[in-house]
């Protein structure tokens, strides 16, 4: 069968599969700035940002990628090659904060290219499925969107990865913008806020930074947990918060945990966050997962039987992002074959894209043993009290792996690691996540550890 898929579609489908096989941190590190360049002679050429990425992907991900290509193209495309090239057009991943003010129709079409699409127009209340898990958060967001600055200020949303926090946060932005084009709306992640702040201070533009943030009508700040431990940025954020709040400007914050559980967050900020409304988002139940799938199928114009939907919903339960990933793989495959996916196809896809199912056998004990062997640190020391550097890092790595690979809860990890408090575990996991961003050595070590966990 001739291939009708474009290189973009193919690479997107491959990324969809890899996203499910890798941890989020790994996936982001290695694949964020990759893009398809050419598709010819059974080979997909992919652009990567630098030599380090190229050699890492070649030695660690080649097999995974070529297998995904092979599966997705029914054997027509088998090879991938990487070349170093920086993408010319901006990546669709939000990188810069944008104040969106008064985009008059003509102007907005002109301004679509660079920064103006920070808020994803697909993330609206209409495309958000409400279930028991998120109804409070959803209702609070709608109330805030209707009366910004008047009902709950701040609104603080928290919940696990892929459960719709960013979606709801941006839905507020989309709704407020639709109601009033003059509102100045700023959506930003707390990481970006931190980087911009540091940058501004360094280049002597601190005032400009302050003025920008303090002049908005709506501040949407995503993943506030990353402010943990960043004292100067917290101080700046505290003043921004106060300035906006005093002027009845709406602030909405998301986090992966409640304010009190963010270790190393100043008490005065925690207390500010508790002024307004705090709403959590939990994992969707089976019924909601089915409703979400049905909705996404309609959105994508995909036809799946009720039986198929039920099958997927009962086998994929971690989060909504994962549900979407599986649906994308199914869609990509049926586009390639030109026929609707059968239940058998779906079973096969689920089998190949959810490696966590096979890793059901890996336990916290396995992780501790693997880490102990890898770093040559005795188990008693790994789970013990000593704060010497050579024990602390392996200890945090063990916590991180339990969290990322086994999806164990923080208290469970604490118990496995010699009876530690869950906040210590959170701190450990955060620490590794942060260090991983630019510590190549640690990235390699973690990949080796993962291989050992799953191979033995």
User: Which positions lie near ligand ADP, rule CB under 6 A?
Assistant: 123, 127-129, 134, 159, 161-167, 292, 320-321, 324
Give min distance, CB of 31 to ligand ADP, in A: 16
The Cα 336–Cα 74 span in angstroms is 8
Give min distance, CB of 222 to Mg ion, in A: 6
- Partner interacting with residue 129 (select from ligand ADP, Mg ion, none; CB below 5-8 Å by kind): ligand ADP
Burial environment of residue 201 by CB neighbours within 10 A (0 to 12, 13 to 18, 19 or more)? middle
The Cα 273–Cα 259 span in angstroms is 7
User: 283 vs 130, 135, 286, 402, CA distance in Å?
Assistant: 12, 12, 10, 19
**Residue with Cβ nearer ligand ADP (123 or 152):** 123
Contact call for residues 175 and 91 (beta carbons, < 8 A):
no
**Residue with Cβ nearer ligand ADP (165 or 245):** 165
* Residues counted in the chain: 456
Measured at the alpha carbon of residue 142, what is the angle toward residues 140 and 143, in degrees to the nearest 5?
Answer: 65
423: left (phi over 0), alpha (psi -120 to 50) or beta: alpha
Give min distance, CB of 320 to ligand ADP, in A: 3
Token code pair at residue 151? 């009902």
**Residue with Cβ nearer ligand ADP (235 or 280):** 280
Give min distance, CB of 349 to ligand ADP, in A: 19
**Residue with Cβ nearer ligand ADP (34 or 255):** 255
Give min distance, CB of 278 to Mg ion, in A: 17
Contact between 166 and Mg ion (CB under 5 A)? Answer: yes
**Residue with Cβ nearer Mg ion (166 or 328):** 166
Q: Which stretch binds Mg ion (CB under 5 A): 39-47, 163-171, 236-244, 377-385?
A: 163-171
**Residue with Cβ nearer Mg ion (166 or 233):** 166
Give min distance, CB of 140 to ligand ADP, in A: 14
Q: How do beta strands 218-222 and 250-255 pair?
A: parallel
**Residue with Cβ nearer Mg ion (165 or 249):** 165
Contact between 142 and Mg ion (CB under 5 A)? Answer: no
DSSP 166-209: HHHHHHHHHHHHHH-TT--EEEEEHHHHHHHHHHHHHTT-HHHH
DSSP 33-68: T-EEEEEETTEEEEEESSHHHHHHIIIIIHHHHHHH
Q: Which stretch binds Mg ion (CB under 5 A): 103-111, 134-142, 147-155, 166-174?
A: 166-174
Give min distance, CB of 193 to ligand ADP, in A: 16
Residue 253: other Cβ atoms inside 10 A: 27
Question: Which spans of this chain sit near Mg ion (rule: CB under 5 A)?
Answer: 165-166
């Amino acid at each position: 069968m001739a291939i009708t898929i474009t290189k973009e579609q193919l690479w997107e489908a491959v990324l969809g599969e890899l996203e499910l096989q890798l941890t989020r941190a790994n996936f982001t590190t290695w694949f964020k700035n990759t893009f398809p360049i050419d598709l010819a002679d059974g080979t997909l050429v992919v652009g990567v940002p630098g030599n380090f990425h190229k050699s890492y992907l070649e030695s660690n991900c080649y097999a995974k990628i070529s297998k995904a290509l092979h599966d997705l193209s029914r054997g027509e495309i088998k090879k991938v090659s990487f070349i170093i090239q920086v993408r010319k057009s901006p990546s669709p991943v939000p990188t810069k904060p944008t104040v969106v003010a008064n985009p008059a129709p003509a102007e907005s079409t002109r301004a679509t290219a660079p920064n103006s699409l920070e808020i994803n127009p697909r993330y609206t209340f209409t495309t958000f499925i409400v279930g028991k898990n998120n109804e409070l958060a959803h209702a609070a967001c709608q109330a805030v969107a209707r009366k910004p600055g008047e009902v709950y200020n701040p609104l603080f949303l928290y919940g696990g990865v892929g459960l719709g926090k960013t979606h709801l946060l941006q839905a507020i932005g989309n709704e407020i913008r639709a109601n009033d084009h003059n509102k100045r709306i700023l959506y930003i992640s707390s990481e970006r806020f931190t980087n911009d702040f540091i940058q501004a201070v360094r280049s002597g533009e601190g005032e400009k930074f302050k003025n920008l943030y303090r002049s908005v009508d709506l501040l949407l700040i995503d993943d506030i947990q990353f402010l943990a431990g960043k004292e100067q940025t917290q101080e700046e954020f505290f003043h921004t918060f106060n300035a906006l709040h005093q002027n009845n400007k709406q602030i909405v914050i998301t986090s992966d945990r409640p304010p009190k559980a963010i270790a190393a967050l100043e008490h005065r900020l925690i207390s500010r966050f508790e002024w307004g409304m705090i709403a959590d988002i939990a994992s969707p139940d089976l019924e909601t997962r089915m409703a979400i799938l049905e909705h996404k199928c309609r959105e994508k114009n995909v036809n799946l039987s009720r039986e198929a939907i039920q099958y997927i919903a009962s086998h994929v339960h971690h989060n909504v992002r994962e549900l979407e990933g599986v649906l994308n793989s199914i869609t990509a495959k049926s586009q390639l074959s030109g026929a609707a996916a059968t239940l058998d196809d779906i079973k096969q896809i689920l089998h190949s894209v959810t490696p966590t199912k096979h890793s059901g056998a890996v336990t916290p004990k396995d992780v501790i043993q693997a880490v102990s062997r890898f770093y040559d640190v005795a188990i008693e020391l790994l789970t013990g009290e000593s704060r010497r550097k050579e024990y602390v890092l392996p200890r945090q790595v063990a916590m991180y792996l339990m969290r990322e690979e086994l999806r164990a809860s923080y208290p469970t990890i604490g118990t496995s690691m010699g009876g530690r408090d869950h906040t210590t575990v959170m701190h450990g996991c955060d620490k590794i996540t942060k260090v991983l961003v630019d510590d190549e050595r640690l990235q390699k070590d973690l990949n080796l550890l993962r291989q050992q966990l799953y191979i033995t």
